[in-house]
Amino acid sequence: MKADMFHPVKIVSVDVERPLPAIDLRRPGNVPYGGIFCLLRCGVRPLAILEMEHPGPVIEASDLLEAMGSVHPLPSAGEPSQGPRERVSVVIATRERAESLERCLVSLFDQTRVPDEVIVVDNAPVSAATARMLAARWSDRVRYVLEPVAGLGRAHNAGMRHVTADIVLFTDDDVVLDRHWLAAMAAPMEEDEAVGCVTGLILPAELETRAQFWTERHGGFGKGLQRRVYDLDANRPDGVLFPFTAGQFGSGANMGFRANALRAIGGFDDALGAGTLARGGDDLAAFFSVVSAGFRLVYQPQGIVWHYHRRGEEGMRRQAYCYGMGLGAYLTKIVLDEPRRALRLMAAFPAGLRHMVGPTSEKTNRLPPDYPRRLVWMERLGILAGVPGYLRALASGRAVERKA
C-alpha cells in the first residue's frame, strides 16, 4: 500500500471452535478499517495469522470462512501438559505510564491461572502517578518497589530481590496479556526441570498508524506460531550464528525464567536495557547466558501478549536506533565477559552480515515497499553505537555504586 492509501487495520482474535463472528470495520468519525489482522486459534492454541484487506463496512462470517480456507494452520504441539504446579511471580518494570500499566494489570488479574505474587518496579519515576494508582486500586495484590536509578536491567534485578516463587515471568507495562498467558508460560518449566527460560508470542494490540504497521512488518516482536526448543545439545540449530543471534529466542516484553537459573547467571546486566546509555540488550544477554550455562530455552507461542507499538514515526526512529544499540551493546558485553568469544564472533561475522543485509535476508525481504530506508540505517548505525554505549553504561553504573 502507498502511504496515502493506508487504512488502519483492526486486530481480531477468532476461536475456530466457536461460531465465526461478523467483523465491523466502521470507526465512528474516523477513517474505516481497511482490513483485519486476525489470530486464528483453537482455545489456547494459536493456529495461524490471517491478514485480510476488505472494503467494508462489515466482513461477514461467510467472507471470513472463505478467507480461512486459504490459510493452512501450522502443526500444533497441543495443549500444555499439566505438570506439578510451582509458585509463579510476575515482575513488571514501569516508568511514567500509569494508565497503560493499569490496563496491563487488569489483564493480569483476569488470567485463567492467578499469579502467586506480582511485583511492580517503578524505575526512576519523575512523579508519584504510578505509586498513587497502585495504592488506590492494587495495594492488596501488588508489591510496589522503587528503583531510583534508571535502567531496565537494574529494574528487573530490583524486582528479583523480592521474588519468592520458583518461576518468575516478566512483561512490560505497554501490553495486554492473553487470559491463558501465565499458565502457558509456566508450563514448559513445570514439565521439564532443564528449562531455564521461556519466551512467548507477541502480537500487535493495534495497527492504527502506518508507523505501527511498519513496526509489525519489520518483524514486530513475535517469533512465529511454532513451538521451538533451544539448547547446546540435541536442540542446537545448525550454523555458526547460534547462540549469538539471541533475538531469535524472543523478547523481553514476554519472557520467564526458572528463578534459580536466572540467579545462577547473575541476573540481568545493570548496564543494559532501556534507560541506560546502552539503550537495550538486557533480554538478549539473559537469553544468551541461560543457554550458554546449559539450560534449555523454550519458545512457547501459546503464551500470548498483545503489544502497543509506538504510534508515531519519530518514536519508531528512536526505537530502531535503540534496538540496534541494544544489539551492539549485548555483543560487546558477551565479549568482555569472555574475550575468547571474539574469535567465534569474527568467524560468524560473514553469516551475520548475510542474515542482516544479504539478498536472502528474511528480515529485509519481509519489509513493505514503502518502509523507510532511513530506519534500516538507523538500526545499523545503532549497532555500531552500542559498543561505546555499553562501555559508557558500565562506567556510569560503577560511579553509581561508588556513591551508594
pLDDT digits 0-9 by tens, 253-274: 999 999 999 999 999 999 999 9
319 or 198, higher pLDDT: 198
Q: What is the pLDDT of residue 250?
A: 96
Residue owning grid cell 519466551? 199
What is the tens place of the pLDDT at every residue in 40-62? 999 999 999 999 999 999 999 99
CB-side neighbour CA atoms (13 Å) of 83: 14
Cis status, amide bond into 8, omega within 30 of 0 = no
Could you give the CA distance from residue 38 to residue 313 in angstroms, rounded to a whole number?
24
Q: What is the pLDDT of residue 122?
A: 98
Q: What is the pLDDT of residue 376?
A: 87
Give the Cβ contact number of residue 61 at 10 Å.
Answer: 14
- Taking the alpha carbons of 282, 287, 290, 291 in that order, is the dihedral positive or negative? negative
Q: What is the pLDDT of residue 76?
A: 53
Could you give the CA distance from residue 377 to residue 383 in angstroms, rounded to a whole number?
10
Predicted confidence band at 3 (pLDDT cuts at 50, 70, 90)?
very low
Helix or strand holding residue 62 (H, E): helix 61-68
314 or 119, higher pLDDT: 119
Could you give the CA distance from residue 94 to residue 103 in angstroms, rounded to a whole number?
13
pTM: 0.94
Position 2 pLDDT exceeds 50: no
> Position 119: which residue type?
I
DSSP codes joined into one string, 153-196 = HHHHHHHHTT--SSEEEEEETTEEE-TTHHHHHHHHHHH-TTEE
Identify the DSSP state of 276.
S
Q: What is the pLDDT of residue 1?
A: 42
- The domains of the chain, with CATH numbers, are 3-68 (no CATH), 88-314 (3.90.550.10), 315-403 (no CATH)
Which residues, at least 6 apart from 189, have a Cβ–Cβ distance to it below 8 Å?
86, 167, 195, 196, 198, 256, 258
> Position 95: which residue type?
R
Q: What is the pLDDT of residue 314?
A: 82
**Average pLDDT estimate for 195-217:** 94
Q: What is the pLDDT of residue 361?
A: 65
Position 77 pLDDT exceeds 70: no
Helix or strand holding residue 326 (H, E): helix 313-337
What is the tens place of the pLDDT at every residue in 271-327? 999 999 999 999 999 999 999 999 999 999 999 999 999 999 887 888 889 999 999
Predicted confidence band at 354 (pLDDT cuts at 50, 70, 90)?
confident
Which residues, at least 6 apart from 199, have a Cβ–Cβ distance to it below 8 Å?
223, 249, 250, 251, 254, 255, 256, 287, 297, 298, 299, 300, 303
